[in-house]
Structure 1
């Protein structure tokens, strides 16, 4: 459940609400342990979901009381940093970026034998050989979702596989008076989705180690192949393949626009599967960002549940709670049905979770379980391919700028400069 920039609506709270409430674990009045847990709330993962999941895990760990802290925005990393700076770093943190905090010695790794015993890809989100968030689920970021009826209306009989076919589909839709692609560009992360897909397919698809090579200074964003990939996104915008005023469309509205049939395609993370309308789910399909030669490249991100603070005063209780929460089938059911998460528990099929999912979910999950070319979703990895702290904001800014600017080289140069500053 990576989802840290994934929804437009999180319930607001603030540091002021934490006044007098230390985020360090404390002894309760009856000799128990109180742990503070940073979460987030969305239309799918509601306050009720978190309250219920916490209560269920508490039952598995006698003597523990967990207090929920709700992040005030979709950027939990930034909020966790605020809490840490004010001496209120939580005992448990949901779906953060481990590298941001592990390098500062703030996180406690999980026992690898427990991870190996319970998850399909034990090292799927490991950072420098250690697992700081259990690899409970995965996502494809992005897929290209499409409206089958609008494709048929434009005379399109099959999803495109190559980039030239994709551009031809966009042109055909536009000629038919149909907006080809939805873009919730008013939210920076959503504006970046086409660029995430293209860079994952064209750059990482050919060189899966590109991000590690960028850390080593062997490659740059201004390299010709990266600029060529970024130019594809600029061309999509320049040719009018997104809706009018796309940079002013909020993420939540982009979901509504697409599901209501106002646009033909939507490049978004697989969490969108939780928003597919159940009453006409068969109207929707999905394909991967097309490549030049038609080869399939899956932009893959292994997500996870909660990180454990290295500063918690009761690491045994904190670990027991985190493990109980991470293995609770009821949590997976909610994440699968409401948040489009692909479960990664070992030895289970979708049927084991008693879920009701759409055909497009099943088709998408097949990309996860099948043997194919999987690469880290650009900018979304929580493992060694995660970008330096702060780089995502620069990446989003570049994505929004490229919507209106032809200066691809200048935007890529800014990313190189931001990377170099972040890694000094």
Structure 2
């Protein structure tokens, strides 16, 4: 969940293509309900807001901010609809077929948002935000801009990297975090030799495993190579096969926790809890990881550290090329002005400072930078500030079908049912079909 999405990928319209069969009636009626964008019994304009903040502290911070806004703007009612990440994606995909999305909805930008734009479902907010969007960090805005027009407002920006347990590293006699892939594999071997599970992974959800293949591909092919493959709809080249081969090297070491293929990201037995309860030494995850570890597990406090994804010897990519992204909110086509007014307030200096201080977020408003004090989040922020290139999450940068195939194929490689060559071929086949 970068700010440079491929621009010449397939932009087919998909309004009405997705079947809504099997989607619960409650879900369909909650979106675009009679009071959404209209008035409630008290005469307030209702803004329906779909978000994915389901873990602490954001789980309570988001409603608190909505209440604070309502108090200052008594003619507006913010109707929150919180959804877990995968449930949100599934329901949003189905709702596209109905032709109407929530007033405000979470987006990671890239190809998924572009298809919603092309389908005529998302409002062009360029003119409405021009007087204040300049306050936001430039890198945070790019994933939501197409052909010089703006379609969403960022609320978060970050990068994926390795979160690690310093105490477990010390126990395994690993003096410093690895900086190359060879050193990383050596660290995994040392952790296993010390009786420590090297890596926590949510194999059930697929997207956490995609991070490994994506970063390896970026390190080997470079961000430019990823862009060229996306433009050509061809990921069958040697660089992408090598990415799979390096990932298979890791998988063959059996580095993940017991039962990882059935593990979710949240939950008492999920990836975040495994890491947060010191049951594994590392996880490859975004900037939200520390808070989720504490929410789902106990958290490991000062033992938690962060290091960038290692370089790959001979690769075209730089160790300072970053993979990640952020979250933003888009306005449905024809959505109420009150929704955008709320969003302006939500990313304003005062609100954003609170999100940074209490929500563990990296500031998107330049006037909220002083609120960032957490050393690990500062490390992520430093990584972003020093980035030589930035690649958006592949399951968001690419059209939905391609992104899903990346997730599925990489999950199959990790499970041992697909070879590196088959992964590259499968992604290419789906890309060419779009």
The normalised TM-score by structure 2 is 0.81
Distance 2:254 2:301 in 1: 28
Aligned to 1:8: none
Aligned to 1:260: 277
Distance 2:361 2:44 in 1: 34
Q: Deviations over 1:90-129 (max 9, x none)?
A: 2211235422311112111333523542112164323322
Q: Deviations over 1:342-367 (max 9, x none)?
A: 11212332x3x3x663x322222221
Secondary structure of the corresponding residue to residue 390 of structure 2: strand
Residue 388 of structure 1 deviates from its aligned partner by 0.7
Match of 1:289 among 309, 312, 319: 309
Would you say how many aligned residue pairs link Structure 1 and Structure 2?
A: 395
Aligned to 2:228: 213
Residue 271 of structure 1 deviates from its aligned partner by 1.1
Q: Deviations over 1:36-65 (max 9, x none)?
A: 222234122555433222233335556332
Aligned to 1:110: 125
Aligned to 1:246: 260
Secondary structure of the corresponding residue to residue 270 of structure 1: coil
Match of 1:375 among 372, 390, 404: 390
Moved more, 396-405 or 39-48: 39-48
Distance 2:309 2:331 in 1: 35
Distance 1:275 1:48 in 2: 13
2:418 corresponds to 1:392: no
Aligned to 1:91: 103
Q: Deviations over 1:12-41 (max 9, x none)?
A: x95426538237522455655323222234
Match of 1:34 among 43, 46, 58: 46
Match of 1:163 among 181, 194, 215: 181
Pairing of 1:3-402 with structure 2 (within 5 A): 15-16=25-26, 19=29, 21-22=33-34, 24-28=36-40, 32-44=44-56, 48-59=60-71, 61=73, 63-71=75-83, 74-86=86-98, 88-95=100-107, 97=109, 98-111=113-126, 113-121=130-138, 123-128=141-146, 129-141=148-160, 143-203=161-221, 206=222, 208-217=223-232, 220-252=234-266, 253-275=270-292, 277=294, 280-293=300-313, 295-312=318-335, 314=336, 316-327=337-348, 329-330=350-351, 332-334=353-355, 337-338=358-359, 340-349=360-369, 351=370, 353=371, 357=374, 359-369=375-385, 371-379=386-394, 386-402=397-413
Secondary structure of the corresponding residue to residue 74 of structure 1: helix
Tell whether the 8 Å contact from 1:197 to 1:378 is kept in structure 2 after alignment: no
TM-aligned CA distance change 1:332 to 1:380, over 3 Å: farther
Distance 2:96 2:235 in 1: 32
Q: Which has the higher helix share?
A: 2
Tell whether the 8 Å contact from 2:107 to 2:328 is kept in structure 1 after alignment: yes
Distance 1:375 1:237 in 2: 26
Aligned to 2:12: none
Q: Deviations over 1:167-194 (max 9, x none)?
A: 1111222222222222121222223232
Tell whether the 8 Å contact from 2:324 to 2:392 is kept in structure 1 after alignment: yes
Tell whether the 8 Å contact from 2:236 to 2:424 is kept in structure 1 after alignment: yes
Aligned to 2:429: 417
Distance 2:70 2:401 in 1: 34
Q: Deviations over 1:60-86 (max 9, x none)?
A: 556332322333653434322433434
Distance 1:106 1:398 in 2: 30
Tell whether the 8 Å contact from 2:208 to 2:285 is kept in structure 1 after alignment: yes
Tell whether the 8 Å contact from 1:83 to 1:90 is kept in structure 2 after alignment: no
The normalised TM-score by structure 1 is 0.82
Tell whether the 8 Å contact from 1:140 to 1:377 is kept in structure 2 after alignment: no
**Where does structure 1 lack aligned partners over 5 or more consecutive residues?**
3-12
Residue 309 of structure 1 deviates from its aligned partner by 1.2
Distance 2:376 2:25 in 1: 40
Residue 331 of structure 1 deviates from its aligned partner by 5.3
